[in-house]
């Protein structure tokens, strides 16, 4: 655990190298004390005998970027004690060397025997085969042979670890120049998005940056791509072509390299397959056909319908559909151009989120069956990210108030306001859209609440705020949020109770002799109506035998087994209390919950118990005239909780 946190600290500081970071900021990031941060940094600096990696001062801590590679070189040697680490080291050396490498040099550098090296080379050969590369050996000298594009693919694969927030951690032997990855990434982002109106996400932007770094490295080492098959002039009128030319000019001047037409072509291919001219924020379900071919809209919607039917999910909302369809459009374009994308989270998603990954595999199978499109595991993992992100947002935001924040952009002042609102209402408010006044269209963007810096004639509930957030603004947002939460909760409870409380399983003043007779008759009716298996009666009796379920004028018999086919609540109300063991009860509530309804029912049950814990509420419900009157009273009482 200590070593893991130390590595997390280092990763974070590498991204912000050559800048001061406060000790408390680091402590908050790792959820430890500032004293512990001092210990971690001391341990890191101990590795560097001849230099200091992280220096301290009144402003906090400062990672010296130029010393980072010395640190990595030493730690790499210290960690070269596993076959995988050794094999990565050997492949890095081989792919970076044009003249090959001597096996005895590997033995000396890694402090291992020649037989161990030979054994590692067997495994390396298998790895290289997946990249259409091979090992060539002449006496003690070995080298990697194969197409230059394949070698670059291998290099990218070794540089990018199985982590989303990678920062070029293991490229010491692979790269000869210290690349400030995040600075380079920022400059690429500016050229692509700010100057050429292209759009990219963090994953695809990393792919472009990684391609660029490997390209620079190979050109600097005298290895260039040669390709006479493609005429780049056919792309001259595209935004991607303009950005590729502009990026190539920037790289040529910054890194003193010459980029030929073949290099420019594959840079263009990489940009084209990792960016889009579609602004995701400008697309909604109403106008998506103006941005995406109807063919891909149909493909996306059809496969999502199949997912809902196969996995018994609630229908996906329109926001998710839009993002998913845009992804499908880009995915099919990548497949058609033969571009292979790398996903650093593939293995993690497969092992950690099997259900989500299973849904993504199902989608991939549908594409293969219906459109003869074969997806790699990396592409499947990107689909899994979309599915997983939807589930996470649904679970995280289902009990929050969705909100549209409308701003008049004046030098970005609104960003601080958004950040403050987000922090103050993190538990209750979900900022669904953050859009400018010129973008906003009533009826297109939908949410529970509108927060606006401009007073307009809004149709929905809204709060007007000042340019600089005041206490009164905050109070108004809080009041509106609480009101909407109460209304949403009331509507949800009403829906749940209508679904669970079955009229055919409702009893008014039944002639039950005792609790055994009540359980016998109530469970039999549930079984006869098809809500449960025949074993329900025995299971409920077994549970009742463990501990009497009567309390405060109410009995709640139930099963501990999976006997229920469809979730239900069966109520029996008695104006004159009936005997339940040694107690007297006005209400008997037979609960039937299965795995499918358990999650939804848990929240409802907690509220029901709270309502039924008050004798006044119990008697009010017991005197209900009929099913409809009972349900209305129950809903009214639950919404007051």
CA dist 363 and 390 (Å) reads 15
Burial class (CB in 10 A: 0-12, 13-18, 19+), 2: exposed
In order of 281, 406, 438, 439, 492, the CA distances from 452 in angstroms are 18, 5, 13, 13, 27
pLDDT for position 588: 96
CA 184 to chain centre: 25
Reading the block at residue 166, the tokens are: 């990678």
pLDDT at 164 over 60: no
Contact of 495 with 445, CB cutoff 8 Å: no
Span 112-155, pLDDT tens digits: 889 999 999 999 999 899 889 999 999 999 999 999 999 998 88
Name the token pair of 142: 């070995």
Residues β-bridged to residue 101: 142
Helix (H, G, I), strand (E, B) or coil at 569: strand
Please state the rounded mean pLDDT for residues 318-343. 89
Which of 203, 206, 300, 216 is CA-nearest to residue 251? 216
Q: What is d(CA 528, CA 502) in angstroms, rounded to the nearest whole number?
A: 13
Closest CA to 441 of 281, 243, 301: 281
Looking at residue 169, its pLDDT comes to: 43
Strand positions, DSSP E, 213-285: none
Q: 280-397 has which CATH code?
A: 1.10.1790.10
Could you tell me the CATH superfamily of domain 401-496? Response regulator (3.40.50.2300)
User: Which residue from 169, 173, 254 is spatially nearest to 212, judged by alpha carbons?
Assistant: 254
Q: So where are the chain's domains?
A: 2-75, 79-159, 181-274, 280-397, 401-496, 501-639
Report the interhelical angle of 65-78 vs 34-47 (nearest 10°): 70
**CATH class as words, domain 2-75:** mainly alpha
Q: Which carries the bigger pLDDT value, residue 519 or residue 390?
A: 519
Report how far residue 415's alpha carbon sits from residue 453's, in angstroms, rounded to the nearest whole number: 12
pLDDT at 327 (0 to 100) = 92
Rg (CA), the chain: 32
Q: Which two tokens stand for residue 198?
A: 């292209």
**CA-wise closest residue to 92 among 61, 70, 120, 57:** 120
Q: Compute CA distances 382 → 339, 356, 553, whole Å.
A: 15, 11, 54
The DSSP secondary-structure symbol of 583 reads: E
Domains 181-274 and 401-496 share a fold: no
Domain 501-639: which CATH number of 3.40.930.10, 1.10.357.10, 3.40.50.720, 3.40.50.300: 3.40.930.10
pLDDT in tens, 181-205: 667 778 888 888 778 888 887 778 8
- Given the candidates 1.10.10, 1.20.140, 1.10.1790, 1.20.120, the CATH classification of the domain at 181-274 is 1.10.1790
Query: 252 or 312, which is more confident?
Result: 252
User: What would the pLDDT profile of 351-363 be if each residue is shown by its tens digit?
Assistant: 556 567 778 888 9
- pLDDT higher than threshold 50 for residue 516: yes
Helix/strand/coil for 391 = helix
List CB contacts of 547: < 8 A, sequence separation 6 or more: none
Burial 165-192 (b: 16+ CB within 10 A, else e): ebbbbbbbbbbeeebebeebbebbbebb
Q: Would you state the pLDDT for residue 176?
A: 56
Maximum C-alpha span of the chain: 99
- Say how many Å lie between the first and final Cα of the chain, rounded: 43
Q: According to the model, what pLDDT value does residue 546 have?
A: 66
Tokens 């096996």 locate to 103
Q: What angle do CA 514, 516, 518 make, to 5 degrees?
A: 70
Please report the pLDDT score of residue 158 as a whole number.
Answer: 80
Q: Using CA atoms, how far apart are residues 257 and 399, in angstroms rounded to an integer? A: 54
Kindly give, in sequence order, each residue whose CB lies less than 8 Å from that of residue 280, ignoring residues fewer than 6 positions away. 199, 322, 323, 326
Domain 79-159: which CATH number of 3.30.300.30, 1.10.540.10, 3.40.50.2300, 1.10.10.10: 1.10.10.10
* CA 527/CA 570 separation, integer angstroms: 12
User: Per residue in 5-43, pLDDT tens?
Assistant: 787 888 888 878 778 999 988 987 777 788 888 888 888
* Cα–Cα distance measured from residue 273 to residue 290, given in angstroms and rounded to the nearest whole number: 20
Q: What does pLDDT average to over the chain?
A: 83
Percent of the chain at pLDDT > 90 equals: 31
């Amino acid at each position: 655990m200590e070593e893991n946190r130390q590595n997390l600290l280092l990763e974070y500081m590498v991204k912000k190298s050559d800048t001061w970071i406060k000790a408390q900021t680091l402590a908050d990031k790792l959820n430890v004390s500032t004293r512990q941060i001092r210990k971690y940094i001391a341990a890191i600096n101990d590795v560097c005998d001849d230099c200091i990696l992280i220096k301290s001062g009144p402003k906090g801590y400062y990672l010296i970027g130029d010393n980072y590679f010395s640190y990595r070189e030493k730690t790499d040697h210290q960690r070269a004690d596993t076959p995988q680490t050794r094999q990565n080291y050997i492949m890095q050396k081989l792919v970076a060397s044009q003249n090959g490498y001597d096996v005895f040099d590997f033995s000396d550098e890694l402090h291992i025997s020649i037989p161990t090296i030979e054994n590692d080379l067997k495994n390396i050969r298998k790895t290289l085969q997946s990249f259409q590369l091979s090992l060539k050996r002449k006496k003690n000298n070995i080298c990697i042979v194969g197409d230059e594009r394949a070698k670059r693919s291998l290099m990218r694969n070794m540089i990018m670890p199985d982590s989303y927030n990678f920062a070029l951690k293991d490229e010491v032997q692979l790269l000869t120049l210290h690349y400030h990855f995040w600075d380079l990434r920022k400059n690429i982002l500016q050229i692509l998005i700010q100057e050429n109106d292209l759009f990219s996400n963090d994953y695809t932007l990393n792919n472009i940056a990684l391609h660029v770094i490997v390209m620079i490295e190979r050109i600097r080492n005298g290895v260039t791509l040669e390709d006479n098959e493609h005429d780049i002039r056919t792309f001259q009128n595209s935004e991607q072509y303009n950005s590729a030319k502009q990026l190539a000019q920037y790289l040529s001047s910054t890194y003193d390299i010459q980029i030929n037409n073949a290099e420019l072509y594959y840079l263009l291919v990489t940009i084209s397959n990792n960016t889009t001219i579609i602004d995701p924020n400008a697309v909604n379900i109403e106008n998506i056909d103006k941005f995406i071919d109807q063919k891909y809209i149909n493909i996306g919607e059809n496969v999502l319908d199949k997912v809902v039917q196969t996995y018994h999910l609630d229908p996906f909302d329109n926001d998710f559909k839009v993002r998913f369809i845009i992804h499908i459009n880009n995915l099919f374009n990548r497949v058609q151009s033969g571009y292979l994308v790398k996903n650093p989270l593939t293995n993690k998603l497969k092992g950690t989120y099997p259900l989500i990954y299973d849904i993504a595999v199902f989608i991939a199978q549908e594409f293969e069956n219906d459109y003869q499109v074969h997806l790699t595991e990396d592409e499947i993992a990107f689909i899994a990210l979309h599915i997983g992100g939807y589930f996470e947002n649904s679970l995280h935001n289902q009990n929050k108030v969705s909100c549209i924040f409308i701003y008049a952009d004046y030098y970005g002042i609104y960003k601080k306001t958004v950040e403050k609102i987000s922090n103050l209402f993190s538990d209750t408010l979900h900022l669904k859209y953050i859009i400018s006044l010129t973008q906003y269209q009533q009826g297109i963007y939908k949410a529970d609440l509108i927060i606006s810096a401009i007073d307009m004639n809004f149709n929905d509930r809204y709060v007007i705020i000042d340019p600089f957030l005041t206490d009164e603004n905050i109070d108004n947002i809080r009041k509106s949020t609480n009101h909407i939460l109460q209304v949403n909760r009331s509507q949800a409870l009403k829906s749940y109770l209508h679904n669970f409380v079955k009229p055919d399983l409702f009893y008014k003043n039944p002639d039950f002799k005792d609790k055994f007779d009540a359980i016998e008759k109530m469970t039999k009716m549930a079984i006869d109506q098809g809500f449960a298996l025949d074993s329900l009666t025995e299971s409920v009796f077994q549970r009742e035998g463990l501990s009497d379920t009567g309390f405060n004028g109410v009995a709640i018999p139930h099963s501990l087994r999976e006997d229920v086919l469809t979730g239900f609540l069966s109520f029996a109300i008695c104006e004159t209390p009936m005997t339940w063991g040694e107690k007297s009860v006005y209400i008997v509530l037979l609960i039937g919950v299965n795995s499918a309804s358990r999650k939804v029912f848990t929240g409802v049950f907690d509220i029901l118990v709270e309502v039924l814990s008050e004798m006044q509420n119990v008697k009010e419900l017991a005197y209900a005239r009929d099913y409809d009157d009972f349900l209305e009273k129950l809903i009214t009482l639950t919404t007051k909780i």
